[in-house]
Structure 1
């Protein structure tokens, strides 16, 4: 049986997601969020916006890689911008 080869970049990605989820959990426990409306057509909390932002970032990243011949770094930057926009104004 062969095991998956982890690169430093892959490990950093999953560590960053883990740190992000842990940070959001601590923030929510210390300061519970209230629902608000923003760019998204629904009322959301911080956790909702994080989930929507991460899911949207994944789909956007796959779309850019699959449809264009742009660099993976461009796809990553666009995905990060999407996540930040959803977290701030979503």
Structure 2
């Protein structure tokens, strides 16, 4: 199979490895501590660990797009902002 038409760069590979790793960690967390009791946070509806991961990934995508629109690259400070956002989501949502 020839995949030369795809833009497989090192950052692209890292991106997919990180997403796959996050999903694997969430699966392992669920095996170790089943259930992950849904809770109501600041959004006022029940969320599970998977919901909070999805919100984090979606929010991080928008943070990076906004960063590119306003500041351009590099995205290192956007990555720091995304990590802080993830912490807030898992603590309060």
Please indicate, yes or no, whether the TM-score normalized by the shorter chain is above 0.5: yes
* Structure 2: distance between partners of 1:71 and 1:30: 37
Higher strand share: 2
Match of 2:87 in 1: 84
RMSD: 2.0
Q: How far does the alpha carbon of each residue in 1:23-58 deviate from its partner, in whole angstroms, 9 at most, with x for none?
A: 102222332111112233322111110011111110
* Structure 2: distance between partners of 1:47 and 1:70: 30
Query: Which shifted more, 54-63 or 22-31?
Result: 22-31
Give structure 1 stretches of 5+ with no counterpart: none
Tell whether 2:18 aligns with 1:16: yes
**Higher RCO structure, 1 or 2 (CA under 8 Å, sep 6+):** 1
* Structure 2: distance between partners of 1:61 and 1:13: 13
Give structure 2 stretches of 5+ with no counterpart: none
Query: Which shifted more, 60-69 or 14-23?
Result: 60-69
**1:69 Cα deviation after fit:** 4.4
TM-score (norm 1): 0.81
* Structure 1: distance between partners of 2:61 and 2:6: 20
